[in-house]
């Protein structure tokens, strides 16, 4: 018999909790989501309440290097900037110059598997063939341009 009296109280208690949840939801909406004028707040209204998020600088890619490139000293990454040269062909170029020696002209480039006459012609404007460890010879007379004889004459 005691269970007959508890059943209506349980229903009443459940209905009261539902009613309080609805009232609480409406109060929350009024206080948080609606502005003082009764209209919906701007979706970014929390920006004024919260501290600003730290700005993370996006990685800025450096512009690709411009040629012409020395095929005897360029790295694999640099060689990939040449037209028609990918990572595998760049690795073959480096392996070839390490095993056989430096490239001297466009015909030497063609000894690498994957570089034929057409690709060599495309590369003509983008590569130079300086030999590793050599520099152009200049003399004091060449740099000054004023004196014809030895210095001091």
pLDDT tens-place string over residues 64-121: 777 788 888 888 888 888 888 899 999 999 999 899 888 888 888 888 888 888 988 9
Q: Which residue has the higher pLDDT, 60 or 71?
A: 71
State the pLDDT at residue 148: 47
Q: Is 76 exposed, middle or buried (CB count within 10 Å of its CB: 0-12, 13-18, 19+)?
A: middle
Complete domains list, the chain, with CATH: 69-128 (1.10.150.320)
More reliable by pLDDT, 72 or 4 = 72
Is residue 77 within a helix (H) or strand (E), and if so which, with residue range?
helix 76-79
What does the DSSP 8-state code read for residue 40? B
């Amino acid at each position: 018999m005691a269970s007959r009296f508890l059943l209506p109280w349980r229903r009443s208690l459940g209905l009261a909790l539902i009613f309080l949840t609805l009232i609480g939801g409406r109060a929350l909406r009024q206080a948080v989501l609606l502005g003082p004028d009764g209209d919906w707040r701007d979706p970014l209204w929390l920006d004024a309440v919260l501290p600003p998020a730290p700005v993370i600088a996006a990685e800025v890619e450096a512009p690709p290097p411009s040629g012409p490139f020395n095929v005897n000293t360029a790295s694999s990454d640099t060689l990939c900037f040449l037209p028609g040269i990918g990572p595998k062909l760049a690795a073959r170029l480096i392996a070839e110059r390490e095993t056989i020696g430096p490239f001297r002209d466009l015909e030497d480039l063609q000894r690498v598997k994957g570089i034929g006459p057409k690709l060599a012609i495309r590369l003509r404007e983008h590569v130079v063939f300086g030999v590793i460890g050599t520099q152009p010879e200049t003399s004091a007379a060449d740099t000054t341009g004023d004196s014809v004889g030895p210095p001091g004459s």
